[in-house]
């Protein structure tokens, strides 16, 4: 990918945007050279935030960090780990499934609202984003939010920009909340449940007071592709506990006891547990070097398995479940079947499907983002127009 602009400062970025806006040209915004999202953007020029790089401030005692948007996630995580802290929303590393080699940036993570398994208990990326600075489509530098945990001063543009995929503004700096790294982690593995049984079991577990931080179900078709095949035989319903060492083992024991009525139970200790959840986070089974269509679906947790069951009657799919069943990673054998999937989601009470990976031909033919209801789509278009009146940022993306 050719990069046309690599501003080194916020002012420079604003100048570039103003110049581009003046020419009514279109600009594709990228992070550290990753494509990051499957949709193709046809633009006149590419702007990378790669050189807007560096941690601006880190205050471990207040659990906040500010960083320029092009700062690699790896750099941030390294600094946090040193102080036994973390990004609690567990952003995934998409390089495996997308077959890319770039460096994910913190701006990209928030622009795409990337969240992993702990989203179930700790919230999404957007829930941890406290403040932003961005350049709008007219080249004005705007700030919103701040660096304190509670802040309701003015409209929450922070949430709006999170997950807007660079269509409302160019993030230049992000301030976010970090949390203590849990000293211990353990995973209770409940085996031999089918998808429907697993959904029921996960719902019951989440109603128990054991503070399960993540709950996933790995059907037999994918189970062997985790931990190098070391998970016990049969479909695995996996439940993660985190916290102080002593309490994690006590809770794991109680949880295992509670689960044992449903099927065989095993407990993964710290190391294996952490590895397993990293693999779930990064969708390891589908990091298969192919371009087969991969969907990330959000739906009510108890409906995930119903969706997959319905699809199986119509087409070839493989799937596993995170977020108690509410996030479905769905790999298609052939056609992306966007219309079918979206029809079923609607019939099951709503949610949305986003195409994460597909061949160029499929991408061209498939709406990557879930189409919105007409009134909401019209509203979203008006909002976009208010941030980027000339439509210069990432044209074609997000409606």
Partner 1 sequence: MRVSDQIAFLAPRRSVLDRREAIIADLADLLPPGCLVSDIRGLVPFETDAFIAYRQLPLAVTLPETTAQVAAVLKYCGRYGIPVVPRGAGTSLCGGAIPQEDAVVIGLSKMTRILDIDLANRTATVEAGVTNINISEAVMPEGFFYAPDPSSQLACTIGGNIGMNSGGAHCLKYGVTTNNLLGVKMVLFDGTIIELGGKALDAAGYDLLGLICGSEGQLGIVTEATVRLLARPEGARPVLFGFSSSEEAGACVAEVIGAGIIPVAIEFMDKPAISICEAFAKAGYPMDVEALLIVEVEGSEAEMEATLTSIIEIARRHGVTTIRESQSATEAALIWKGRKSAFGATGRIADYICMDGTVPLSQLSHVLRKTGEIVARYGLRVANVFHAGDGNMHPLILYNINDPEDAARAEQAGNDILRLCVDAGGCLTGEHGVGIEKRDLMLHQFSQADLDQQMAARAAFDPQWIMNPSKVFPLEGRPAA
Q: Report the site for partner 1 in 345-364 (rule: CB under 8 A).
A: 349-352, 354
Among positions 310-339, residues that touch partner 1 (CB under 8 A) are: 323, 326-327
Question: Which residue, 312 or 386, has its beta carbon nearer to partner 1?
Answer: 386
Q: Are 46 and 1 in contact (CB under 8 A)?
A: yes
Q: Which residues pair with 58 in a beta bridge?
A: 65
The DSSP symbol for 115 reads -
User: Is residue 375 helix, strand or coil?
Assistant: helix
Query: Which residue of 315, 359, 369, 390 would you call a contact of partner 1, by CB under 8 A?
Result: 369
Residue 126 contacts partner 1 per CB under 8 A: yes
Among positions 255-284, residues that touch partner 1 (CB under 8 A) are: none
Question: Mask 77-116, x = binds partner 1 (CB under 8 A)?
Answer: -------xx---------------------------x-x-
Question: Which residue, 53 or 111, has its beta carbon nearer to partner 1?
Answer: 111
Question: Which residue, 47 or 299, has its beta carbon nearer to partner 1?
Answer: 299
Q: How far apart are CA 235 and CA 199, in angstroms?
A: 12
Q: How far apart are CA 372 and CA 51, in angstroms?
A: 35
Q: Which residues pair with 319 in a beta bridge?
A: 330
Minimum distance, C-beta of residue 257 to partner 1, in the bound complex (Å):
13
Residue 397 contacts partner 1 per CB under 8 A: no
Residue 211 contacts partner 1 per CB under 8 A: yes
Question: Which residue, 53 or 120, has its beta carbon nearer to partner 1?
Answer: 120
Residue ranges of E strands in 234-369: 236-243, 265-268, 294-299, 317-322, 327-332, 351-357
Residue 390 contacts partner 1 per CB under 8 A: no
Question: Which residue, 98 or 120, has its beta carbon nearer to partner 1?
Answer: 120
Residue ranges of E strands in the chain: 27-30, 45-48, 55-59, 64-68, 85-86, 129-135, 141-145, 170-177, 179-180, 184-191, 212-218, 236-243, 265-268, 294-299, 317-322, 327-332, 351-357
Minimum distance, C-beta of residue 380 to partner 1, in the bound complex (Å):
5
Residue 240 contacts partner 1 per CB under 8 A: no
Residue 194 contacts partner 1 per CB under 8 A: no
Question: Mask 34-73, x = binds partner 1 (CB under 8 A)?
Answer: -------------------------xxxxxx---------
Residue 151 contacts partner 1 per CB under 8 A: yes
Structure tokens at 47: 């702007």
Structure tokens at 344: 């079923």
Query: Which residue of 47, 168, 193, 287 would you call a contact of partner 1, by CB under 8 A?
Result: 168
Q: How far apart are CA 129 and CA 287, in angstroms?
A: 28
Q: How far apart are CA 91 and CA 97, in angstroms?
A: 14
Query: Which residue of 46, 300, 309, 340 would you call a contact of partner 1, by CB under 8 A?
Result: 300
């Amino acid at each position: 990918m050719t990069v046309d602009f690599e501003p080194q400062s916020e002012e420079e970025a604003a100048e570039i945007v103003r110049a581009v806006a003046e020419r009514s040209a279109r600009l594709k915004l990228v992070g550290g050279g990753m494509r990051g999202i499957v949709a193709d953007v046809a633009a006149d020029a590419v702007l990378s935030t790669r050189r807007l790089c560096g941690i601006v401030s880190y205050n471990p005692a207040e659990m906040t960090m500010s960083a320029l948007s092009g700062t690699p996630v790896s750099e941030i995580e390294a600094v946090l780990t040193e102080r036994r802290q973390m990004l609690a929303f567990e952003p995934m590393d998409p390089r495996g499934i997308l077959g890319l080699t770039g460096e994910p940036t913190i701006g990209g993570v928030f622009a795409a609202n990337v969240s992993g398994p702990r989203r179930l208990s700790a919230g999404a990326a957007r829930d941890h984003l406290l403040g932003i600075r961005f350049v709008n489509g007219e080249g004005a530098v705007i700030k919103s939010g701040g660096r304190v945990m509670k802040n309701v001063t003015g409209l929450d543009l922070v949430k709006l920009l999170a997950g807007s995929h660079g269509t409302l503004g160019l993030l230049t700096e992000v301030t976010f909340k970090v949390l203590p790294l849990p000293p211990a982690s353990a995973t209770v593995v409940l085996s031999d449940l089918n998808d429907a049984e697993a959904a029921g079991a996960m719902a019951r577990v989440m109603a128990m007071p054991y503070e399960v931080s993540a709950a996933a179900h790995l059907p037999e078709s994918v189970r062997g592709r985790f931990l190098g095949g070391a998970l016990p035989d049969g479909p695995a319903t996996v439940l993660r506990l985190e916290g102080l060492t002593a309490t994690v083992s006590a809770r794991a024991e109680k949880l295992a006891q509670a689960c044992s009525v449903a099927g065989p139970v095993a407990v993964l200790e710290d190391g294996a547990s952490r590895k397993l959840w990293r693999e779930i986070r990064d969708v390891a089974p589908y990091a298969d070097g192919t371009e087969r269509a991969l969907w990330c679906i959000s739906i009510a947790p108890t409906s995930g398995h119903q969706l997959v069951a319905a699809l199986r009657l119509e087409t070839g799919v493989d799937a596993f479940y995170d977020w108690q069943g509410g996030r479905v990673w769905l790999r298609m054998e052939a056609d992306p079947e966007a219309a079918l999937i979206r029809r079923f989601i609607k019939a099951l009470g709503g949610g949305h499907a986003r195409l994460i990976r597909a061949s160029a031909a499929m991408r061209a033919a498939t709406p990557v983002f879930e189409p919105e209801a007409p009134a909401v789509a019209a509203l979203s278009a008006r909002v976009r127009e208010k941030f980027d009146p000339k439509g210069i940022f990432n044209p074609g993306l997000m409606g």
